[in-house]
Each structure stands twice: as C-alpha cells, then as structure tokens.
Structure 1
Amino acid sequence: MFFYRIAVSLIRVLLWMSYPFSAKNRKFLQGRRGLFKQLREFSETRNPRQPVYWFHCASLGEFEQGRPLMEEMKEQNPKIQIVLTFFSPSGYDVRKNYEGADLVCYLPLDGKRNAEKFLNYVKPKAAFFIRYEFWYGYLSVLKQRHIPSISVSTLFQSNAVPFRWYGRFYRNMLRKVTYFFAQDQNTVDLLVGIGIQSVSLAGDTRFDRVADICRHAPKNELAAAFKGDSHAMVIGSSWPEDMELLLPFMKEFVDDIKFIIAPHNIEEEALQKIEEELPYKTVRYSKVKTETISNYRVLIIDNVGMLTSLYRYGEFAYVGGAFGRSLHNILEPATFGMPIFFGNRSYRHVNEANALLKKGVAFTAGDFKELRDKFKRFFNNEEERLAAAEECRQYVSENTGATQLIMKYIAQQN
C-alpha cells in the first residue's frame, strides 16, 4: 500500500511536469479543476430518495461496454440516478453530454481522501467498474462502507500483473471487488485460481450494444447518396500505419468500389496528409453537398461518433489499430455483416478477432499484396461474400445477453 501511494503521488507530479508539453495531460488536469464543487452541487440538488448508481469507465471503449447496462437500468426504473465517471479525456470529451447519465465527470485521482470525498457526495447504492480499471483507494472505501462493487465485462490475460509472482498487491485489490462478470472462461479460471469465487461467465456487454445499434442505427442521407449503387469498403479508425497498406490497395480498386474513411485522428494536419496521399476524387463529410457527393470515390469522415452507423453502408470493412497498440472495435462492422480485414500484429488479445478469424470471415494482412489477395476472394464471389456477412451477424447474435444476466444479479441484490 505504501508503494502504491508513492506511485499515485509520482503520477500526479509527472502530470503537472508535463502540463506545458502534453495537450492530453493538460486536458486531464484542467478537466478536474472544480470537480468536487461539481460533485457537491450534484449532491445538493439530487433527489435523496432515488438511488444513485455509479459507473466508471477508463475511456470511450469501456463506455460502450457500460452503456447497455446503464440504459437497461434506466429503462426499467427511470427514477434512478446515474453518475458516470471517466479517467481519460478521450472518453470524457466525447461523452460529457451523454443524456443517459445524471452527472458525467472525471474521476478524481485515486487515494483514500479523494475516494471518501467522492463517495460522500455521490452516495452510490452500487458501483460498476467496466472491463479492467480498478483503483485501490476507491475499492477499499467502497468495501468499508459495504457498497457493492461490480466488475462488468472483465477481461484478463494470463500474463497480467495480478497473476504474476509479484502481483500480490493487485490480487488483494481484486479481492475487494464484490462480484465479477467475466467476458470469457479464461478470465473466470484466472480469478478462481487466485481464490476469487465471486465470478461468473456473462460474456461481453458490447455484443448487446452493437446489436442494439444495428436495430436502431440512423440512416445517413449523405452516406447513402455517396454510395449509390456501388459497393463500398468502410475503413474505420485508421492510423498512418494502416494507410501505408491501404493507399496502394485503394489505388487498385478505387474504380470498382467506393471508400469511406473514418481516421482515428481528425486533426487538420492528419486530414490534409490523407488528402494529399489520395490522388482520387476525395471529399470531407463536413464540406460535401448531397447533390454532388455521388461524384466522389472517397469520403473522409472528419467528425467523431458517426463511424458505427456508417458500417451499414459497407460490403467490406477494414479496421485500424492492429499495427499499433491494439485493434479497434470489429464488432461494429460484424453486426452489420461483412468480411473484415485488419493488420497482422496487435489483435491476438481481442477475443472477437480470434473468433472471427477462426470462422473465416475476418482476415489479417501484413502488406498490400496480402490484403489484395484476400479481398479478391470476396470481391470476385458475391455468394461467398454474402455467406461471410451472414456468419458475422450470426456470431454477434449468438453472443448477446450479458446485460440481462447482470440485471438479474442486480434484481436479486435489491
């Protein structure tokens, strides 16, 4: 515990030292200014007779996993109040106006004093930590106050710190969690292996989220007009490393299909670089008109939050990130049904990527030629493409239901 406090203090110091040099860290610190005043105002104005449920998400991906549960709880009891906290600016900036929560804010940095102040204001009936982010101070105070802490869509690999010889502190922290709803059997086995019995296999709530998106995805007139009668590939969350592979691929196929690109980075400099490298009729979403959009071959999405519903306009998908830290969300294109392609490096820890690869409907590529050859299999055979699309949709459908399992647990505790 002593070393943990030292580590948290060191993180605080490093954040302030990097303040002049890191835009992300400036947002991190600026966003927490006046945070306890915001929490106090919530405490003073909320209805004390209605229960509060606290959801914590590291960033945007975890929010998408927690969202089905938040919305189901609100639907079953609209009077409950939800406090949603983020650790990262990338999650908070996008979802700070999320209407499903009564309060959206940053999580104060961990520590007993901050945890006690936070919980004094919020007074949650239960706390939900999404996927993998755990904080010793908060979990300790929650346990002391007999407030249930529930881990949703928990996912661990065998090489994670809690399961190594030096992971005693982290194992003790995990034992403070009231209940775990694990994504896969491996996570269940790992937790049981360190003496945690309060765990069950529920699956990933993201399946419920993407299935709901597919049912309710809004139509996009501009995207529909751009696509017309052509086939299209949606390129989601692409990084520069992905574009190195995709640029020659697009050059070969741009006369045959259209491309919708949603880059991970939508800063002006990054968008300009993509435009300079694409010698085709290219247009940004924010600058195009409906009556002329069909004249273009490449549509660049220069906003955040639209990608998920745009997959409905694709017959093929390429998902970025696998040449960097991690493959981005491939469940979104899978739920709309299409062959999916991605880089050949950082994907092995992504359960759904491995499952779809095994089913023969997702494919890795290390270079342009490999992508081209694998793509041609479906481009030249419509029957095979449609079969792969249906296999993707079926995979998502078979894995829904985690939200209802968690709701059943919550009902039993009330």
Structure 2
Amino acid sequence: MSFIYNIGIHLAHFGLKCVAPFNKKIKSGIVGRQDTFNILKSNLKPTDKTLWFHCASLGEYEQGLPVFKALRDQYKSHKIVLSFFSPSGYEIRKNSPVADVVVYLPLDTKTNANQFLDLVNPELTVFVKYDIWPNFLNEIRERKLRAILISAAFRENQTFFKFYGNPLRNALFAFEHIFTQNENSKRLLESINYNKVTVSGDTRFDRVSSQLEIDNTLDFIETFKQDKLCVVAGSTWPEDESLLVNFINSEASKDVKFIIAPHNIKSAQIKNIQEKLTVKSILFSEKDNEQLQTAQVFIIDTIGILSKIYSYANIAYVGGAIGTTGLHNTLEPAVFGIPIIIGNQHSKFPEAQEMIDNAGMFSISNQNEFNVILDDLIKNKQMRLQSGSHNSNYIKNNLGAVTKILRYLEL
C-alpha cells in the first residue's frame, strides 16, 4: 500500500474535520462514522453469517438494489450489512429493508479495515460502480474473502490507468470478478491485466424497469393534473428552475400543468421558485389545505416520490446538466415512455448520449433552445409519442445485467 496514499487519507480526514462545523453534510459523515463500530458490535455476533453491500451514495444504492434484493432472498439466514460513504445515501436509506445493519463506511485506513472486517467477516462483498477503497479491498484479498464489483464504469482518464495509480489499480485485483457496464470499461481493465471481467450492462435498467411492476398511483397528482398535459421537472437546481420559471411565465399555455421536484428542498430555495412564478403554485407540504386543480405549478418539497410522479408526465426535464452539479437519473422517466429534456453537460453519462442519438432525449444549452424544444414537444403529439417510445425501447433493450451477475454467483 502506498505510503503517500495513507498520508493523504489522514490529511483528508483532518481537512474534513476542520470544515465540518461549517458544512452540515460533512458534519453528518464525520459524526456518523464515529458510531460505525458500535453499531456493528451491537447488531452482529461472531457466529453470524453475513453479506456486505457497499455503495458510495444513494444513486449507487438504487443501482445495486436489484442484486441486493436477490441476495437477500437467497441468503435468508445471513445478516446483511449495508454501508455508505456519503450522508446523502445513508440518511435516506438508513432504514433500508434490504439490510439488517446500515452504517457509514469508516475512513479507509488499515486499522479501520481490520476492525471492520473482524466484526463483519462477510461471506460475500458487493461493491457498486466505482467506490474503490484500497485498504479495505487489500484486507479482503489478504483474508481470501469473496468480493465482486458490479455496474462498473471506467474512463481512460481515471487514476486506475495512470502511472501514479498503483494503490487504486492494485485494489481492483481484490475483486474475484468485475461486471462492467460497457465494452470500453472491459478493455481498460484488460489494459492493466485484469481479465476476470464480464460486460453485464447497467443494473439501473433492471432497477427502473421494476418501477412498472408496482402501483404508481398518487391521488393528489391525479387531482392536480386532471386531464391536462403535464411536464415533470425532476431533481432540479436553481439554474434548471430559472429555465422552467421563465418558460412558464412567458410561454406556457394555461392548459399545461407543471410539476417541479427540486433536488434541494430547503425552504429558501422553494420560496425563491414560488416568488418568481406569476402563475398559481402549490407546495406538496400545503396540498391538504389547497385546491390542487386550480394551480398550474405543483412544487414537490419532499423526497421519495419522484419516480412515481414521472408516471404522470407527458414530458420530463431532468436537472443537473445545465450547470456543473451532474446530470441526475434520466432512466427513471425513460421507463415510462416519455421524451426527456436535459442540459448540455452530460459527457460522463453515456446513457444520455445514447438516448439523444435515439431521438428520445433532447439536450439544450440556453433558454431559447429550451423554449423551442419544450414548445415543440407540447404542441406536437406525434413527436412526443415517438420520442417517448424510443426511450421505452431503449430501457427494454438494455435489461439483463442482474441475471448475468446472479448467474455468476450461481443463484
């Protein structure tokens, strides 16, 4: 293990502790990690058989969930330990029914890795996508424990493939098998002589497809929407909301309904959206005291229901790519067979480019482009239905990653 890497981990921890008093999210992670070992000691016995699932954050959890559920069903006598690195994953899924114990992953030091694995001693470890921690993984390898990486996506400019990337590169060899999203990731792994690779595809397709099998009914959305065309804007940031508000105020017909589900549901941001709108809007938190059908804009100031709300959309806008925050999940609306609009900063999201190439998704870079595309989709039903059909077919054509992973594990 690189001496420089270990020094860097300790310096990073010191830096986070200094920043924590001024950043609620970082503070949550610092405080939460202090409780990890006590939680494990309280919930696990040395005789317990366990599986360990690790995700960086909420997105990776949703990505791995179909595999987690299948393993949960198969290993009924095992206890499942689920760990997160980010507070945004832990805080939302700390009561996940797929796990018996949910914790923050401790800082990646050799001491922490030893103590964690002494307590958990997993029969199988599943990491999702990219959260690679060398000390933990090297300790897994030294103990000859089973570990796999699923839905992995690699790019040539990542540290794994640089001359200075030995700690991270060597950690990959702790995995007995890696399941990649695409052929390019497989080629990159083979370039560093890692050859136990299967191109399984992305488990997110299986995850979002399962949304079609559940009841997505939301009575309050039906009351709001009635029989009118509905645009759902999900996971928006201020720069996204500016586009939407400007369109609604100056371009939108009164016969079109809008649902805005901000990524950040802090009251100040929600208030800012409402103050800028010149049409009637209602908040989710106030819906029981309002006549929903009389509003043109419904602002969702809560979390956990966006995937169901997309089922009511005729057109979707997904936030994050008009600025620098990162594009949010575009597969969630795509599964419902609707056209999608996004910003132009989507180079790290191959599924977005593939849907653009399939004419199911539209990328915009400014207010004028947004207005033109959204207006076209609102007025042109054939364009809307055809684009949505392309997205639905795209999801169907990419199913099967979970089956390939479970087949390898002989389930």
TM-score class normalised by the smaller sequence: over 0.9
Partner of residue 236, structure 1? 234
Q: Write the mapping of 1:326-405 to structure 2, written as runs, cut at 5 A.
A: 326-345=326-345, 347-405=346-404
Of residues 138, 154, 157 in structure 1, which corresponds to 2:155?
A: 157
Q: 1:190 to 1:219 in 2, by over 3 A?
A: same
Q: 1:34 to 1:165 in 2, by over 3 A?
A: closer
CA contact (8 A) 2:359 2:390 kept: no
How many angstroms apart in 1 are the aligned matches of 2:168 and 2:75? 35
How far residue 136 of structure 1 moved from its aligned partner, in angstroms, is 0.7
Q: Secondary structure at the match of 1:326?
A: coil
Partner of residue 167, structure 1? 165
How far residue 217 of structure 1 moved from its aligned partner, in angstroms, is 4.2
CA contact (8 A) 2:43 2:101 kept: yes
How many angstroms apart in 2 are the aligned matches of 1:176 and 1:215? 36
Partner of residue 147, structure 1? 145
How far residue 206 of structure 1 moved from its aligned partner, in angstroms, is 0.6
Q: Secondary structure at the match of 1:411?
A: coil
User: Any stretches of 5+ residues in structure 1 without a counterpart?
Assistant: none
Q: Secondary structure at the match of 2:138?
A: helix
Partner of residue 219, structure 2? 221
How far residue 37 of structure 1 moved from its aligned partner, in angstroms, is 1.2
Partner of residue 12, structure 2? 11
CA deviations on 1:342-401 (whole Å, 9 max, x unpaired) are 1112x0111110110000110111112111212233222212211222221111111111
Residue identity in the other structure for 1:119: L
Q: Secondary structure at the match of 2:342?
A: strand
How many angstroms apart in 1 are the aligned matches of 2:344 and 2:55? 28
User: What is the CA RMSD across the aligned residues, in angstroms?
Assistant: 1.5
Residue identity in the other structure for 2:245: L
How many angstroms apart in 1 are the aligned matches of 2:314 and 2:153? 31
Residue identity in the other structure for 2:24: A
How many angstroms apart in 2 are the aligned matches of 1:193 and 1:125? 30
CA deviations on 1:230-266 (whole Å, 9 max, x unpaired) are 0111100101111222221122115131111110100
Query: Do residues 209 (structure 1) and 210 (structure 2) align?
Result: no
CA deviations on 1:262-293 (whole Å, 9 max, x unpaired) are 10100111111111111111010111138711
Q: 1:137 to 1:169 in 2, by over 3 A?
A: closer
How many angstroms apart in 2 are the aligned matches of 1:215 and 1:352? 22
Q: Secondary structure at the match of 1:79?
A: coil
**Percent of residue pairs identical:** 38
How many angstroms apart in 2 are the aligned matches of 1:249 and 1:195? 52
How many angstroms apart in 2 are the aligned matches of 1:337 and 1:78? 36
Q: Secondary structure at the match of 2:125?
A: strand
Partner of residue 191, structure 1? 189
CA deviations on 1:74-96 (whole Å, 9 max, x unpaired) are 23343332110000101101001
Number of residues of Structure 1 aligned to a counterpart in Structure 2: 408
How many angstroms apart in 1 are the aligned matches of 2:357 and 2:265? 33
How many angstroms apart in 1 are the aligned matches of 2:289 and 2:216? 17
**Runs of 4+ deviating beyond 6 Å:** none
Q: Secondary structure at the match of 1:31?
A: helix
CA deviations on 1:218-237 (whole Å, 9 max, x unpaired) are 31100111111001111001
Residue identity in the other structure for 1:67: L
Partner of residue 22, structure 1? 23
Partner of residue 268, structure 1? 267
CA contact (8 A) 1:254 1:297 kept: no
CA contact (8 A) 2:235 2:320 kept: yes
CA contact (8 A) 1:225 1:290 kept: no
Deviation larger for 283-292 or 17-26: 283-292
CA contact (8 A) 1:158 1:190 kept: yes
Partner of residue 120, structure 1? 118
